[in-house]
């Protein structure tokens, strides 16, 4: 959530910043509504003061033996007028709150200008895309050839955009997760195991609600429960409503969870294979940081995710997302895009975002300033370290061989019982 003081005092600068995201903010309309709120609040406070004064006058008149009926009628009339003013004030305040809840974060000044992913800025490349003496198969064909990926069975038991993994492919997927967790824990991250179900307050805190409710899987009412779209939600909300001591920062967490997304806004995209599924798994990195350190934390998180791809021997590039492509809560986002031979292009495998104090304000997450002793808003950062399903896709495609087998990257072999190659007919 944006700073309400900034919205009140300089709505035009907010409108200009949000325009870089392609978001239209009616600054004049917001200011008019805010002026109306102030007027109603002053009116309600004035009526309350007058009512209190007349109520005291009733007490004095009663003690003096005077007729208090006219005074009581006047107070009753004031009470009704006060109730109307309060009701109108609540309505206007709710309108303002709805507007504020729907405003995305302000992009950092360093964010490139642009409308969509075509305008993202490529920062650097790492590794060389593999050169095959044969036509590269996509991950679906590779996985089916190894009897390891089975979408039809998943469709039978659940529906579209799910996959059953079997045998060494399922083991490879598990190996990727274990390797990533071990790598990040070894880099001073604290592993956490969190619920896969959260309440609406948590989703509001990280910005998924109210705007993106259609992309969520909600459990049956009346329970206020949702399946998590990412571990960012439960892990970030661990500090919701808390005041963290400054010397404990940064808090660095890593969590492996399944993720559940309805993908309501992605109809028709990536319908084949595991690129865009309703259920997938990620190893998520979360940093809870002092504002002065959040940029450094952002770069460190990016490096952590890059080290995973480098260890897996996967060519990738780092992209600085433009204003029109960054997510709702993000102030700045770096994407890691891995090379997929079947598509002859780079595809996202990790997004690493600094939300500044946007989520912290929604969550009420603060640290105690050691100089003043006062609580101040934290900065929160999140990113994949990396998405396990997409990492599996990349390994199958980039390490495939002409006979349909797949080389297991060296770092994964200890997690695979020493298996170096997954071959057709293996288990």
pLDDT of the residue at 269: 66
pLDDT at 265 over 70: no
Q: Give the pLDDT band (50/70/90) at residue 50.
A: confident
Q: Give the pLDDT band (50/70/90) at residue 425.
A: confident
Q: pLDDT (tens digit, 9 = 90+) per residue, 189-221? A: 999 999 999 999 999 999 999 999 999 999 988
- Torsion angles phi and psi, residue 45, rounded to 5: -65, -40
pLDDT of the residue at 221: 84
Q: pLDDT (tens digit, 9 = 90+) per residue, 112-167? A: 999 999 999 999 999 999 999 999 999 999 999 999 999 999 999 999 999 999 99
Average pLDDT score, the chain = 94
Give the domain ranges of the chain.
Answer: 4-102, 117-422
Distance between CA 18 and CA 323 in Å, rounded? 9
Identify the architecture of domain 4-102 in CATH: Orthogonal Bundle (1.10)
pLDDT of the residue at 181: 98
For residue 333, the SS3 value is: strand
pLDDT of the residue at 65: 72
Residue range 369-397: mean pLDDT, rounded: 97
Longest dimension (CA), the chain: 107
If one compares 20 and 57, the residue with the highest pLDDT of the two is: 20
If one compares 113 and 52, the residue with the highest pLDDT of the two is: 113
Q: pLDDT (tens digit, 9 = 90+) per residue, 326-348? A: 999 999 999 999 999 999 999 99
Which percentage of the chain shows pLDDT scores above 90?
A: 87
207, exposed or middle or buried, with CB in 10 Å at 0-12, 13-18, 19+? buried
Q: Which residues pair with 260 in a beta bridge?
A: 279
Q: Token pair of 102, please?
A: 């729907």
pLDDT of the residue at 69: 73
Q: pLDDT (tens digit, 9 = 90+) per residue, 33-45? A: 999 999 999 999 9
pLDDT of the residue at 165: 98
Q: Token pair of 83, please?
A: 């109730």
User: At what angle are helices 27-64 and 11-19 packed, to 10 degrees?
Assistant: 150
Distance between CA 123 and CA 120 in Å, rounded? 9
The dihedral built from the CA positions of residue 416, 417, 422 and 424, taken in this order, carries a sign that is negative
pLDDT at 364 over 60: yes
Calculate Rg over the CA atoms of the chain.
Answer: 27
pLDDT at 403 over 80: yes
Identify the architecture of domain 117-422 in CATH: 2-Layer Sandwich (3.30)
Distance between CA 23 and CA 6 in Å, rounded? 17
DSSP state of 218: B
Q: pLDDT (tens digit, 9 = 90+) per residue, 72-82? A: 777 777 888 88
User: Active-site residues: which are they?
Assistant: 261, 276, 348, 351, 390
pLDDT of the residue at 58: 73
**Does the global pTM surpass 0.85?**
yes
pLDDT of the residue at 268: 63
Residue range 303-327: mean pLDDT, rounded: 98
């Amino acid at each position: 959530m944006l700073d309400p003081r900034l919205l009140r005092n300089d709505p035009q600068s907010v409108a200009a910043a949000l325009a870089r995201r392609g978001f239209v903010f009616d600054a004049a309309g917001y200011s008019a509504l805010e002026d109306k709120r102030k007027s109603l609040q002053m009116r309600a406070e004035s009526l309350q003061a007058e009512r209190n004064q007349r109520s005291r006058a009733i007490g004095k008149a009663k003690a003096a033996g005077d007729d208090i009926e006219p005074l009581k009628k006047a107070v009753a009339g004031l009470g009704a007028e006060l109730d109307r003013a309060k009701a109108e004030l609540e309505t206007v305040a709710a309108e303002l709150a709805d507007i504020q809840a729907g405003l995305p974060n302000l992009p950092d000044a360093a964010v490139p200008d642009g409308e969509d992913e075509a305008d993202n800025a490529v920062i650097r490349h790492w590794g060389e895309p593999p050169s095959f003496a044969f036509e590269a198969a996509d991950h679906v064909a590779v996985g089916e050839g190894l009897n390891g990926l089975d979408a039809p069975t998943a469709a039978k038991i659940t529906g579209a955009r799910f996959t059953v993994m079997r045998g060494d492919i399922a083991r490879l997927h598990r190996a990727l997760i274990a390797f990533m967790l071990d790598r990040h824990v070894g880099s001073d991250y604290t592993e956490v195991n969190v619920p896969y179900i959260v309440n609406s307050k948590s989703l509001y805190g990280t910005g998924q609600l109210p705007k993106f409710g259609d992309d969520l899987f909600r459990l049956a009412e009346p329970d206020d429960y949702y399946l998590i779209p990412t571990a960012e939600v439960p892990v970030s909300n661990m500090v919701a409503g808390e005041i963290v001591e400054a010397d404990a920062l940064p808090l660095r967490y890593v969590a492996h969870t399944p993720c559940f997304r309805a993908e309501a806004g992605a109809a028709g995209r990536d319908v084949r294979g595991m690129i865009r599924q309703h259920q997938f798994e990620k190893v998520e990195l979360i940093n809870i940081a002092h504002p002065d350190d959040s940029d450094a934390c952002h770069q460190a998180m990016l490096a952590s995710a890059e080290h995973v791809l480098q260890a897996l021997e996967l060519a990738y590039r780092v992209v600085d997302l433009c204003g029109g492509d960054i997510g709702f809560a993000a102030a700045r986002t770096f994407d890691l895009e891995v090379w997929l031979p079947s598509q002859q292009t780079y595809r996202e495998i990790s997004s690493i975002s600094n939300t500044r104090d946007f989520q912290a304000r929604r969550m009420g997450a603060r640290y105690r300033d050691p100089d003043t002793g006062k609580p101040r808003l934290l900065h929160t950062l999140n990113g994949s370290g990396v998405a396990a399903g997409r990492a599996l896709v990349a390994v199958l495609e980039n390490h495939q061989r002409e006979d349909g087998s797949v080389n297991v990257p060296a770092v994964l072999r200890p997690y695979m019982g020493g298996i170096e190659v997954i071959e057709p007919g293996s288990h």
